Structure 1
């Protein structure tokens, strides 16, 4: 699942080699036969509270949802338990042996570090990004950040105390049990409702429980729906009813999919965005039961952000 668009790991390394060789800190030797980009843990749920597997840490402008246009420190966690047909961050599905860490906010002067990352080291990297007055919040994205819930329970109180920045969680919205562990440390949640006709995933009950948990905790929450030209309008109506049953004033974002072809990874058909008439009709359909339904594409891709 992605909120801020990332350079894929292998493209990033290829790009960096054209410019300079990035520093590789504490890299462990590769075992022969391992795929360096898709190393996977035995279980997608990490029980480690002192270390986390990351993809990258960097500073950028948020391009999606309620916080669009704001400056954030992005912490992108590795590993996702979903396989959405529209995923623009499929490089985060597994756990790579290294992560890319920006040294200077917005400069893209990345260096490589070995995974998993100790909690103290991540705090150090975030503090390095935290220039006075520059950032509006810290974004936890992925992958699925909640797969690292035991780590987040230890990390979030410390990073909030260190930076004094609000914490924004971007999530697939399908792990209410892990959400309950971290909600006391979260200020804002952007959750997906995965439409089966678009994503290939089906988690209606989990989405309902997840949204209710956010609402009851009085944490700011909004819902994002990725829509394609094959979206089933009945699913949009079901999603609207799910949100309205909690609170019809919760903001909902219809996000036209960025065209992508994951047929080589998932065996699914390529995914394409809806046409203008579809988007207008679907917004009208959802506004029958919801107060705030906005249609916004991935703006970070329009302005050259990660």
Structure 2
């Protein structure tokens, strides 16, 4: 399967989960390459913003920024090698992230079955944008879906970032949590609208401030807290940003 490349190998690392309902728990992250979306503020643009693609990104304003050479930032890794690399870590929580992991479900199922053959106690979280339908087998194998529907601030048309049938299906799964990044009041209005339209339970909504530094997170945190108190949503920080900043592999 195609993974993100970090230095000379696949982007597989042992750290703390930094976001969502499992924040603070030790976890092994496996970052897949490829994504069906192209958010302008994406902090993992190396998984999709390849040379020759037309997508725009906020980093374009930096004269030093260049689109990525796909061969330099991706690596093909057999599922059994992923199993061996993950099993080498003293942790039974695994986060399948990306990019968009649901683009490679069959390969992930091989990884999941391989690790559970070693230890049935393995727990799997999947981070997804909520636009791809999980297969019945994939849905059954995963313990937790961390769903992050994209808002208008992503720079994409609604028809690309919101797929009603898929989102309705995922909402019906009690294993799914919904994480939204908010910057301003228009984001909050959009989140409220999505929650009403798709009947997302307030107790499964997490609201997170936007930011790639602790200072940027703090700038939005107070207003985010106020909306959490009003709607019964859960406040979600970005622990990895506070601990390590905007850095890969942690």
Q: How does 1:91-240 map to 2 (within 5 A)?
A: 91-93=46-48, 94=50, 96-97=70-71, 115-129=75-89, 131=90, 135-163=91-119, 164-176=121-133, 178-196=134-152, 198-201=153-156, 202=158, 205-206=162-163, 208-218=164-174, 220-229=175-184, 231-240=186-195
In structure 2, distance between residues paired with 1:257 and 1:179: 31
In structure 1, distance between residues paired with 2:177 and 2:84: 30
Residue 68 of structure 1 is matched in structure 2 by 23
Instruction: Please say if 1:295 is aligned against 2:241.
Output: no
In structure 1, distance between residues paired with 2:39 and 2:145: 20
Residue 266 of structure 1 is matched in structure 2 by none
In structure 2, distance between residues paired with 1:115 and 1:156: 19
Count of residue pairs the alignment pairs up: 219
Distance 1:179 1:257, change over 3 A: farther
In structure 1, distance between residues paired with 2:82 and 2:94: 13
The alpha carbon displacement at 1:193 in A equals 1.7
Q: Is the 8 A contact 2:105 2:138 kept in 1?
A: yes
In structure 1, stretches of 5+ residues that fail to align are 1-7, 14-23, 26-54, 100-113, 261-270
Distance 1:185 1:119, change over 3 A: same
In structure 1, distance between residues paired with 2:79 and 2:92: 22
Q: Which has the larger radius of gyration?
A: 1
Q: Is the 8 A contact 2:35 2:100 kept in 1?
A: yes
The alpha carbon displacement at 1:195 in A equals 1.2
Deviations 1:205-229 (A, max 9, x none): 52x43344345454x2110001113
Deviations 1:92-134 (A, max 9, x none): 21584367xxxxxxxxxxxxxx8211112111111112x2xxx
Task: Calculate the TM-score normalised by the size of structure 1.
Answer: 0.62
The alpha carbon displacement at 1:194 in A equals 1.0
Higher relative helix content: 2
Q: Is the 8 A contact 2:182 2:188 kept in 1?
A: no
SS of 1:115's equivalent in the other structure is: strand
SS of 2:146's equivalent in the other structure is: strand
Instruction: Please say if 1:257 is aligned against 2:226.
Output: no
The alpha carbon displacement at 1:160 in A equals 2.3
Residue 102 of structure 1 is matched in structure 2 by none
Residue 79 of structure 1 is matched in structure 2 by 34
The alpha carbon displacement at 1:281 in A equals 4.7
Distance 1:127 1:191, change over 3 A: same
